[in-house]
Amino acid sequence: MFDAIRPAVAARTRLLTPDLRGFGDGAPVSDETPDLTVLADDVLAGLDAAGIARAIVGGVSMGGYVALNLLRRHPDRIAGLVLADTRSGADDEAALDRRRAVAERADRGDIATGPDAIAPLVADTVSDLVRADLAAIAGVVPAATVAWGQRAMAARPDTTAVLAATTVPVLVVVGEKDVITPPTVAREMAATAPEAELVELAGVGHLSPAEDPVGFADALIGWLSRRF
């Protein structure tokens, strides 16, 4: 999902985009209780292996939850935070019910794949090429990963107080047409973090770095130039 921003961002800073457990080249999900801490610890182990003591950590959607998990548990390792199309609050009952239903269907092998998995996430103006690229990514995600991930996200705590207490620079990015974590949620996060900047990308949905790589890269590089 970050391939399109890589050339521009790599000219400004080192960009590491590890596959989370269950996705791409990441290790498969295990029989451990679903918990985003497992994914955060994988990221931490990757930083250790690369000899990186502190990093600007960020993510989109579930990746943002993982970044917030790291901020909550290992604030000394976080130099800055990028939260894109995500939220710091825990799920409400309606969201929990939806996650449980998706996880139970995934247990039976019933998951949305390809274009059907992407359509609810992206803006209606996204090109067919971008849709095809994202559908190819979604098409190889195992049902077990979907089930585990939904349960892990449902179990995550509210990290709003953690975000309010951090002193590191925070960049909040959101797509104008994101219906999963809409701009109102992003504005609340930006107002919560003491050192936050907010960028809203016009005409963009929930997967902003893939939908508008130029806008996302510009927002990130501009923030890096001002803050680091």
pLDDT attached to residue 113: 84
Half-sphere exposure of 190 (CA within 13 A, CB side): 16
Q: In degrees, to the nearest 5, what angle opens at C-alpha 65 toward C-alphas 18 and 162?
A: 125
Whole-structure pTM value: 0.96
Which ranges of the chain have pLDDT less than 50?
none
SS (H, E, C) the chain: CCHHHHHHHHCCCCCCCCCCCCCCCCCCCCCCCCCHHHHHHHHHHHHHHCCCCCEEEEEECHHHHHHHHHHHHCHHHEEEEEEECCCCCCCCHHHHHHHHHHHHHHHCCCCCCHHHHHCCCCCCCCCHHHHHHHHHHHCCCCHHHHHHHHHHHHCCCCCHHHHHHCCCCEEEEEECCCCCCCHHHHHHHHHHCCCEEEEEECCCCCCHHHHCHHHHHHHHHHHHHHHC
**Residue whose token pair is 């902003």:** 208
Distance CA 138, CA 1 (A): 11
pLDDT attached to residue 27: 87
pLDDT attached to residue 176: 98
pLDDT attached to residue 104: 98
pLDDT attached to residue 66: 98
pLDDT attached to residue 224: 97
pLDDT attached to residue 30: 78
Q: What are phi and psi of 139, to 5 degrees?
A: -65, -15
Domains, the chain, ordered by start:
3-90+157-227 (3.40.50.1820)
Amino acid identity of residue 83, one-letter, is: L
Please, are residues 87 and 177 in contact by the beta-carbon 8 Å criterion? no
pLDDT attached to residue 32: 80
Query: Using one digit for the tens of pLDDT, what is the confidence trace for 58-111?
Result: 999 999 999 999 999 999 999 999 999 999 999 999 999 999 999 999 999 999
Would residue 24 be called left, alpha or beta, if left means φ above 0 and alpha means ψ between -120 and 50 degrees?
A: left
Residues belonging to the chain: 228
SS (H, E, C) 13-47: CCCCCCCCCCCCCCCCCCCCCCCHHHHHHHHHHHH
